[in-house]
């Protein structure tokens, strides 16, 4: 078995190849989806003619594709680091990529050719009663989603198998015996604890998603088979909220594993760390009713619980990660480079992005902000400035910024500054527009709103420039990684 806190990560050739393939696909899809995002902003700003039906197809592909690559990139980060502690299957990671690619082709066809445009949230009954597109398009879109989900489920089950083989149970690999004072053994490493959480949450989430998508697919083929829309909405948000969130918990291990390399100190788990992650494991799965505050048929206790838990949900894992990272680098003489810079950017994006999210999860605020651009504002904050920089940091680490590189060689820090500055500008425009009640998911904006949309378009173009720079650097360095040097 490999040492706890390894300073050098080992990976065999098959592993390197599939990790590289995953990241190439993630990088390419990320750029394509960003360009679709820019297209929407340009359409709203009146600078580009985007027919409304096309806008909603683009919106659906963009949202689905982005969550898809956040999951693909996140699970690759997790796989790479977790494989330092437990034996994972490269075949399963390969199967996941194939399922992902097949799913993407089906989704693109269903949306851009079939016309499906019900948004990434596929809320029933819109997908099958869209009127603008045939019900078969919904069937195929859902099938594509199921394939992507099946791939993730396979990887999560492989994680679970490997963790149980090494630690005996998921409770042990989560550090629970130590947390409850039942054992004095050393705690599992942070990545193993996080990997356990990801295993549990991903498995439940994907199964939950399938349990509503299958009935919806039947409904698409046979409208006589009906579904309770409120039940559907609950299950869909159990799936959608948890899946979008678990991508952060997958990718965050890049901080636990790489920051120590720059700071020259190990990142160790503690009982507080385990407690934090345990809190997040439970809460991330039960706070989805904060998406249903406007559904007055929901029991009041569900909304109350969701509001309270939304306040506390993200804090545990986030605080232990944030404080842990600060303690780690405090007076460590950390080496600044693109990778360590992106790691810090991602911490900032995650921590700061939670604030507008929590505000929106407050019932009195939600009743005003619910369908405004505040909502994309908060999730773009922690996705664009949190999860994506974690994945980019991992890409750059693998291919060029290996340890030992002196910081003055990084003449490319401009890309980091542009990404941060323009990314922040982009999400702040969303939030500001939301505060001024600009609705979300409107293809056509009033002229009064267009000035915001134009600022957002310029920021988006700059973010894409910086992201393209990171991804090209990654592609250029890929040979070194593949050859194992
Ligand atoms: C350059 C970067 C990006 C741009 C320009 C962009 C742009 C947009 C726009 C204009 C919308 C529609 C807003 C509206 O409702 O009017 C949107 C929605 C969305 N975006 Fe992005 N985005 C970017 C990055 C991301 C990232 C990194 C993620 C996640 C990893 C993401 C996930 C989503 C999701 C889930 C939706 C909601 C789709 C729906 O309503 O069904 N976006 N984005
Ligand atoms: Cu949520």
For the segment 208-222, the average pLDDT, to the nearest whole number, is: 96
Provide the β-strand partners of residue 55: none
How many angstroms separate the Cα of 419 from the Cα of each of 83, 363, 427, 460, 468?
A: 30, 33, 12, 10, 10
Q: 104 phi and psi, to 5 degrees?
A: -65, -45
Q: Give residue-wise pLDDT tens across range 250-262.
A: 999 999 999 888 8
Q: Give residue-wise pLDDT tens across range 101-114.
A: 999 999 999 999 99
Q: Supply 291's token pair.
A: 């998406």
Q: Is the confidence at residue 307, as pLDDT, over 90?
A: no
Q: Is the CB of 457 under 6 A from ligand 1?
A: no
For the segment 350-365, the average pLDDT, to the nearest whole number, is: 86
Lowest-confidence region among 32-36, 393-397, 405-409:
405-409
DSSP per-residue string spanning 351-397:
HHHHHHHHHHTSHHHHHHHTTBTHHHHHHHHHIIIIIHHHHHHHHHH
Contacts of 451 (CB under 8 A, 6+ apart): none
Q: Note the pLDDT of residue 308.
A: 83
For the segment 187-200, the average pLDDT, to the nearest whole number, is: 97
- Cα of 365 vs centre of ligand 2, distance in Å, is 15
Q: Supply 225's token pair.
A: 């088979």
Specify the residue with its C-alpha closest to ligand 1, atom 34: 63
Q: Is the CB of 424 under 6 A from ligand 1?
A: no
* Residues whose beta carbons lie less than 5 angstroms from ion ligand 2: 241
On the 0-12 / 13-18 / 19+ scale of CB atoms within 10 A, 184 is exposed
Q: Supply 170's token pair.
A: 């998921």
Of 143, 129, 134, the closest CA to residue 113 belongs to 134
Q: Is the CB of 92 under 6 A from ligand 1?
A: no
Q: Is the CB of 380 under 6 A from ligand 1?
A: yes
Q: Supply 344's token pair.
A: 């810090």
Specify the residue with its C-alpha closest to ligand 1, atom 20: 63
Q: Note the pLDDT of residue 392.
A: 97
Q: 372 phi and psi, to 5 degrees?
A: -100, 175
Cα–Cα dist 282/313, whole Å:
9
Q: State the CB neighbour count (10 A cutoff) for residue 322.
A: 16
3-class DSSP assignment, residue 8: coil
Q: Is the CB of 67 under 6 A from ligand 1?
A: yes
Q: Is the confidence at residue 410, as pLDDT, over 70?
A: no
Contacts of 24 (CB under 8 A, 6+ apart): 475, 478
Banded pLDDT at 266 (limits 50, 70, 90): confident
Specify the residue with its C-alpha closest to ligand 1, atom 31: 66
On the 0-12 / 13-18 / 19+ scale of CB atoms within 10 A, 341 is buried
How many angstroms separate the Cα of 208 from the Cα of each of 203, 213, 275, 276?
A: 9, 9, 26, 24
Are 19 and 80 in contact by the 8 Å Cβ rule? The answer is yes
Q: Give residue-wise pLDDT tens across range 133-156.
A: 999 999 999 999 999 999 999 999
User: Mean pLDDT for the chain?
Assistant: 92
Q: Is the confidence at residue 264, as pLDDT, over 70?
A: yes
Return the best residue to mutate from 68, 357, 376, 440 for the ligand 1 pocket (most ligand atoms within 8 A of CB).
376
Cα–Cα dist 460/38, whole Å:
6
For the segment 119-136, the average pLDDT, to the nearest whole number, is: 92
Specify the residue with its C-alpha closest to ligand 1, atom 22: 37
Banded pLDDT at 379 (limits 50, 70, 90): very high
Return the best residue to mutate from 43, 66, 145 for the ligand 1 pocket (most ligand atoms within 8 A of CB).
66
Cα–Cα dist 256/81, whole Å:
10
Cα–Cα dist 475/23, whole Å:
9
Distance separating the N- and C-terminal Cα atoms of the chain: 22
Provide the β-strand partners of residue 372: 439
Specify the residue with its C-alpha closest to ligand 1, atom 7: 37
On the 0-12 / 13-18 / 19+ scale of CB atoms within 10 A, 321 is buried
Q: 439 phi and psi, to 5 degrees?
A: -70, 155
> Is the pTM value of this prediction over 0.85?
yes
Cα–Cα dist 357/248, whole Å:
14
How many angstroms separate the Cα of 36 from the Cα of each of 61, 292, 368, 457?
A: 8, 28, 28, 11
Banded pLDDT at 314 (limits 50, 70, 90): low
Q: Note the pLDDT of residue 408.
A: 47
**Ligand with smallest separation from the Cα of 465:** 1
| Ligand 1 atom at minimum distance from 464 CA | 1
Lowest-confidence region among 61-75, 187-201, 266-280:
266-280
Q: Is the CB of 388 under 6 A from ligand 1?
A: yes
Domains of the chain with bracketed CATH? 13-482 (1.20.210.10)
Q: Supply 92's token pair.
A: 């399963």
Q: Is the CB of 400 under 6 A from ligand 1?
A: no
Contacts of 16 (CB under 8 A, 6+ apart): 481, 482, 484
pLDDT exceeding 90 applies to what percent of the chain? 74
**Ligand with smallest separation from the Cα of 31:** 1
Are 315 and 275 in contact by the 8 Å Cβ rule? The answer is no
Q: Note the pLDDT of residue 336.
A: 79
For the segment 439-460, the average pLDDT, to the nearest whole number, is: 97
| Ligand 1 atom at minimum distance from 388 CA | 27
Cα–Cα dist 173/191, whole Å:
10
Banded pLDDT at 404 (limits 50, 70, 90): very low
Q: Is the CB of 245 under 6 A from ligand 1?
A: no
Q: Is the confidence at residue 362, as pLDDT, over 50?
A: yes
Of 144, 46, 42, 39, the closest CA to residue 101 belongs to 144
How many angstroms separate the Cα of 351 from the Cα of each of 96, 259, 347?
A: 30, 17, 6
Q: Note the pLDDT of residue 409.
A: 58
Q: Is the confidence at residue 1, as pLDDT, over 50?
A: no
Contacts of 344 (CB under 8 A, 6+ apart): 325
CA 96 to the chain's CA centroid: 17
Q: Give residue-wise pLDDT tens across range 414-443.
A: 999 999 999 999 999 999 999 999 999 999
């Amino acid at each position: 078995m490999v040492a706890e806190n390894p300073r050098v990560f080992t990976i065999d050739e098959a592993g390197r190849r599939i990790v590289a393939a995953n990241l190439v696909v993630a990088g390419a899809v990320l750029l394509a989806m960003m360009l679709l995002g820019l297209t929407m902003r340009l359409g709203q700003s009146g600078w580009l003619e985007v027919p409304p039906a096309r806008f909603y197809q683009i919106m659906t592909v963009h949202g689905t594709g982005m969550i898809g690559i956040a999951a693909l990139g996140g699970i690759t980060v997790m796989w790479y680091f977790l494989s330092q502690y437990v034996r994972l299957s490269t075949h399963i990671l390969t199967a996941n990529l194939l399922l992902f690619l097949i799913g993407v082709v089906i989704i693109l066809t269903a949306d851009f050719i079939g016309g499906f445009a019900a948004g990434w949230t596929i809320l029933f009954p819109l997908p099958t009663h869209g009127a603008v597109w045939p019900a078969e398009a919904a069937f195929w879109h859902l099938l594509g989603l199921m394939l992507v989900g099946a791939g993730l489920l396979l990887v999560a089950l492989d994680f679970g198998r490997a963790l149980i083989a090494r630690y005996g149970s998921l409770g042990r690999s989560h550090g629970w015996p130590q947390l409850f004072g039942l054992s004095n053994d050393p705690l599992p490493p942070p990545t193993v604890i996080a990997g356990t959480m990801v295993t549990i949450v991903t498995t439940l989430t994907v199964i939950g998603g399938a349990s509503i998508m299958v009935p919806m697919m039947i409904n698409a083929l046979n409208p006589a088979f009906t579904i309770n829309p409120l039940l559907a909405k609950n299950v869909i948000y159990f799936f959608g909220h948890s899946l979008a969130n678990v991508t952060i918990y997958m990718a965050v291990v890049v901080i636990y594993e790489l920051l120590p390399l720059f700071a020259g100190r190990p990142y160790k788990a503690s009982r507080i760390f385990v407690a934090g992650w345990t809190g997040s494991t439970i809460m991330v799965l039960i706070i989805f009713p904060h998406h249903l505050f406007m559904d007055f048929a929901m029991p009041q206790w569900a909304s109350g619980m969701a509001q309270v838990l939304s306040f506390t949900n993200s804090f545990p894992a986030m605080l232990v990660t944030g404080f842990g990272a600060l303690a780690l680098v405090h007076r460590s003489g950390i080496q600044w480079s693109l990778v360590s810079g992106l790691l810090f950017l991602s911490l900032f994006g995650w921590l700061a992005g939670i604030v507008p999210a929590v505000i929106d999860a407050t019932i009195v605020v939600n009743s005003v902000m619910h369908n405004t651009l505040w909502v994309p504002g908060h999730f773009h904050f922690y996705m664009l400035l949190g999860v994506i920089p974690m994945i980019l940091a991992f890409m750059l680490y693998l291919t060029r910024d290996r340890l030992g590189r002196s910081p003055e060689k990084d003449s490319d820090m401009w890309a980091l500054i542009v990404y941060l500055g323009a990314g922040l500008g982009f999400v702040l425009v969303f939030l500001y527009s939301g505060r001024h009640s600009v609705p979300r998911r409107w293809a056509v904006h009033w002229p009064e709103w267009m000035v915001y949309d134009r600022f957002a378009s310029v920021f988006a173009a700059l973010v894409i420039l910086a992201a393209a720079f990171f991804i090209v650097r990654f592609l250029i360095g890929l040979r070194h990684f593949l050859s194992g040097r």
